[in-house]
Structure formats: structure tokens, C-alpha cells
Amino acid sequence: MSAIAAKPGAAAGAFQPVASLIAIFFAIIFIGTAYWLLGSFGCLAVEALIGIIIGAALIAFGVHFVPVGGAPAAMGQSPGIATGVAMLATGAGLAGLFGGAWAAHIGLWVALAGGAIGGGLMMAITCLMVNISYVYGMGIPAASGKVEKDPITGDSQPEYKSQGTEGHGLPFISYVGGVFGGLLGGLGGTLIYIELLNFYNVILLPTSEGTNALAVGLAGIFAIGMFLVIAVLSAYNITGTIEGPHDPKFKRFPRAIVAAICASGICGLVALLVVAIF
Amino acid sequence: MQEIIIGIGVTAFAGALAAMAGAAEDTESNIGSQGDPNSQVQLAPQMGYTHRIYNKAVSGEPPAYTLWVTLACGIAWAFTMLHVNAMLAIIFGTVLATFVQGIYATTAYLGRTASLSKFGQPVFIDVLKSVTTVTMAHAFVAILTTVAACYLMSTMLQHPFALPLLGIVWGLALGAAGSATGNPYYGKERQYQNQKFGAGVPISASGNIVRYAEAGQRSSIDNGFFTAKFGGPASGLCFGLIVFLELWRTVLFEHSLDNWGAVGWGAVIVGALIIVLFMIIDRYVEIWARTNYGPYTAEA
């Protein structure tokens, strides 16, 4: 069968149990490898890697909430924010990471909450400005193309949709989805950062101030890198545009989480080994 | 107390710098035609509409600004390590990053437009000469203000990240905020000024962008002139609010609940309240639009 004859449409996004099991098996191997290769730091490395994997799963789940319309949204042809999935989610996640890293010296839970709120705040402001731009700049009310009624407010959608488009702007469900996606992204990114920071601090020996400046830099850059990996993986799962949690594509998220678990396993292992060995 | 007062001043200044950065970023990306609306500039010749609009989608705005701001931050950081005056170091870094932006813009315009030659789209050398420098000037303002805000966060507010790392974080956030807010205004409102106001562009109209101005052919600089009246300030407000509120909630409220045993939770609670406030405003804007504009009605 040629590539054209194969019809991926119906099965696109379906959960594949065998492939998922293999991916999780690989993730377990990566964790075992970390334990085996890092000798006396083995337990610490396993703890860090599990934290990284949980953080990555949160990011992958969070990306699916962010309403992204891509290029069509820039012409008011589809609902969502007019930019790329990976980039918007990363923008929110990194804003969260900024807040989380700032609060890292206070404690784990404060830092995680600070990171989550930072990401959510960035999305809350951005989504509001998108709607203000549509409503007051272009005179277009928000309308979803995927549902008849907004699942939160119950507002009917089809009659507000312009002819020849799939909808436009951000209905309230998309707004809430965006904020929730930002919260999860900020939380996951900060968790990865803190796990790496704790591990590097032990390896590189903390200074009198409690943290090592090199450890902060390395943890920050690896956390940003891993965030991008997971956001791009999830963006591939979404394939272009998504309206938020009410979009049928949202149901694809388990596949992205499995992929994120596997990808963050190898990325995390490399991030730990690079510093531990060199 | 003095620390908090300085912190508030720095927060306000960083927020103001970020607002300028957002406005300049959006105007730069509209003059250069970067980001999602550029899909129409690229599509137009393929649909038979040749034009004189600049065409420089190097990449999405967020990665492009991440590169330029991080480059400027990295160079500025290296110079400050060599004990060069910080203001001079930031300007050196920004100038170099702006030249990189100019090179990317030139190669992107030539490469993208040349790829459209089979559809009869010429490369206009006068467009290249007149528009590239204008985008570079706007990029300079956007990069300089973002790097200055990052420098304030790093030195005055003692954020643990080094300057280049802050450049990655805020460069990406700048591009994300600017493209999210500013793109629809350029894409829908400016490129499709010939379509109905108050409705999305029908997919069937894709590629039929406005190519003529009041006198002669429309230039990309006209697009910047137009979007600087709404899209630019809205993007500036968006990025300014993000930076300001992110810093403000931490500087002012981080230790406000310490006496109640919730060390550090003040900033989190204030942040959550601000999110709820923005949600309420958004819902108000949505209801306002539905009641005032009403459902879509097709033209008779």
C-alpha cells in the first residue's frame, strides 16, 4: 500500500497500547540506567528522574488545554490564539519557571505553586488581550466551531460564527482551558527545574548561600530544553490547532503523556549524566 | 522597607520597558510581516495577487525573539563580566542582535520571495532597502527594552537566573505575547481591510490581501503605521502586564503572610486572585460583545 492509499484519518490520535507499553518500558530502563550508572548518587538520580518524568507528563497534559488557532486564527478563520502550540505553551511555561525559580529557596511547594501561578497568569493576560483585540479592535464576538454550547457558560455558539469560518476568538471554555494549561505547564516546568537543581547542588557542592550558581544555570537551561521537547511532542499530537478541553482532539492527550514519559526519561538521563560525569 | 520601595520602583520600570518592548515587537513583526499572517503574504502570489509587501517569516515570532534577545543578553552579560559599563554593554549586545535580525530579514525576504518567482512575484530591491532598516529600528527598541528589563530583574531583584537565561525566558514570552495579541489585528483587520468589518475572513477569500493604498501600491511600512494604533499598544499592554504583575506579586506580597506561618504563599494567593479577576473581565468582554454586536447576519 502506498502512503497515499493508506488512510490515517480515522485512526489519527487513537491510543496505541502496544507502542505505549514499549515506551513506558523504555522509560523504566532509563530510570534503571540512571541508578546503575550513577553509583553512590543512584537513589538521588532515580528520585530526580521520576520527578522530571512527572513534570514532563504535566506539561504534555497542559499543552492540550491551550487554545491555539495557528495561522487561520490570525485571519479570524478559526478560534484560538494566533500562534503556534509549542511556542505559546512554552512561553507560559517559562514565565511559570521564572516565578518558580525565584521562589525555589523558600521551599518545594511554594516554588511549585509559584510556578503554576506564573504560567496561569501569563495565559490569563494573553487570552484576555486576545479577546479584547477581537472584540474592541475588530468587532468580532467569540464563537466556537466545535461545540453548539459553551460547556461552562451554556452560551450558544453557532449563530455568532461568521459565514465561511470555523469560528473565532476565545469562548469562555477556551479561556479557562488556556489558564489551566498555563498552570500545568508552569507546574511541570518548575518541578523539572527543582529536581535538576537539587541533584546538581549535591553533585556540584552548594556554596555558603545554599545553592551553586552553576547548578542554577544548568538546571535552568536543561529545564527550558526539556520543556521545548515535550511541548513540541505534544504539538505533533495536536497537529496544528486545538480549541481547548472541549475540542475532540483533546482526547488524544494520553498518547502525548506516554510519549512525554519516554522522551523525558532519556532527556533527563542525559541531563543528569552530563553533570555527574563531567 | 527600603528594599520593597526600590523593588516597586524597579517593577514599575521593568513593566514600562516591557510595554515598550511589546509595542515595538508587534510593529516590527507587522512591518516585516512575520508570524502567522505572513502565510497570506506568501499565499497571495500563488492565487494571482502579486504585491509589494515585505515577506520575512524567519520563524515564528517567539523563537525569533528568543534568539535575538538571548544573543543581546549573552553579549551584554559577557561585557559586564569584563567590567564594561552595564548600559554600554546592553547597547553593544542589542546592536549586534539587531544586525543579526537584519541579516535574517534580508535573507528571508530574498529567499521567500525568490521561491515565488514561478508565480510572477518579483523581488523589489527598493522594498528591501526601505523596509529592512525600519524593521531593524523597531527590533532594536524591542530588544533593548527587553534586555534592560532582564538586567533589572537579574541585578536589582536578584533573580537566580543569569542574564542570558532570563533572555530566553522573556524573549520567548515577548514573542508569544506579541504574536498572540497583535497577529489577528494585522492578519484580519489590515490584510483583509476589503472584507466586512466585524466578521472573520471567509476561508474562500484567503490570499486576496489588500495590495493598494490611497495612492499607489501598499507598502509594509503602511501596515506598521496602521497596526501601531491598536495591535502594537495592545501587545505592549499584554507583555507589560505580564512582566509587571509577575514581578509585583512577588516583590510586594511574597512575605506578606509570613506572620501567619504561610512563608512565601502571599505571592501565590495574590497571583491566583489576579487570575480570577482577569477571568471575570474576560467574561464581561465576551458578554458585552454578544449583547452589543449580536449574532452574525449575512449581507442581504
| C-alpha cell at position A85 | 502550540
Give the chain A residue nearest B193 (alpha carbons): A138
Q: What is the pLDDT of residue B264?
A: 83
Q: What number is the average pLDDT over the span A128-143?
A: 93
Residue with cell 505533533: A236
Q: What is the pLDDT of residue B254?
A: 82
- Decide if A84 and B235 are in contact by the 8 Å CB cutoff: no
Q: Using an 8 Å Cβ cutoff, are B184 and A82 in contact?
A: yes
Q: Name which of B168, B192, B241 is nearest A75 (Cβ-Cβ).
A: B192
End-to-end, the C-alpha distance of chain B in Å comes to 66
Please list the residues that pair with A23 across neighbouring strands. none
- What percent of chain A has a predicted confidence (pLDDT) above 70? 93
Q: What is the pLDDT of residue A1?
A: 45
**Per-residue pLDDT reduced to its tens digit, A16-63:** 888 888 988 888 999 888 888 887 888 888 999 999 999 999 999 999
Which stretches of chain B score pLDDT less than 70?
Answer: 300
- Decide if B188 and A74 are in contact by the 8 Å CB cutoff: yes
**Per-residue pLDDT reduced to its tens digit, A200-209:** 988 887 665 6
Q: Name which of A75, A87, A98 is nearest B246 (Cβ-Cβ).
A: A98
**Per-residue pLDDT reduced to its tens digit, A243-253:** 989 988 888 89
Question: Does A9 have pLDDT greater than 80?
Answer: no
Q: Would you tell me which residues 56-95 of chain A have a C-beta closer than 8 angstroms to some C-beta of chain B?
A: 70-77, 81-84, 87-88, 90-92, 94-95
Q: What is the pLDDT of residue A13?
A: 65
Q: What is the pLDDT of residue B247?
A: 92
Q: Name which of A75, A76, A84 is nearest B60 (Cβ-Cβ).
A: A84
Q: What is the pLDDT of residue A117?
A: 94
Question: Does A6 have pLDDT greater than 60?
Answer: no
Q: Would you tell me which residues 187-216 of chain A have a C-beta closer than 8 angstroms to some C-beta of chain B?
A: 211, 213, 216
Name the residue among A244, A266, A222 with its Cα closest to residue A97.
A222
Choosing among B186, B209, B278, which should be mutated to test the A contact, i.e. which has the most A CBs within 10 A? Answer: B278
Q: Would you tell me which residues 212-241 of chain A have a C-beta closer than 8 angstroms to some C-beta of chain B?
A: 213, 216-217, 220-221, 224
- Supply the pTM of this predicted model: 0.93
**Per-residue pLDDT reduced to its tens digit, A256-266:** 999 999 999 99
To the nearest whole number, what is the mean pLDDT of chain A?
A: 87
Question: Does A93 have pLDDT greater than 90?
Answer: no
| C-alpha cell at position B127 | 522594498
Q: What is the pLDDT of residue B59?
A: 82
Question: Does A7 have pLDDT greater than 60?
Answer: no
| C-alpha cell at position B160 | 537566580
Domain boundaries, chain B: 2-234
Contact list in B for residue A172 (CB cut-off 8 A) is 282-283, 286
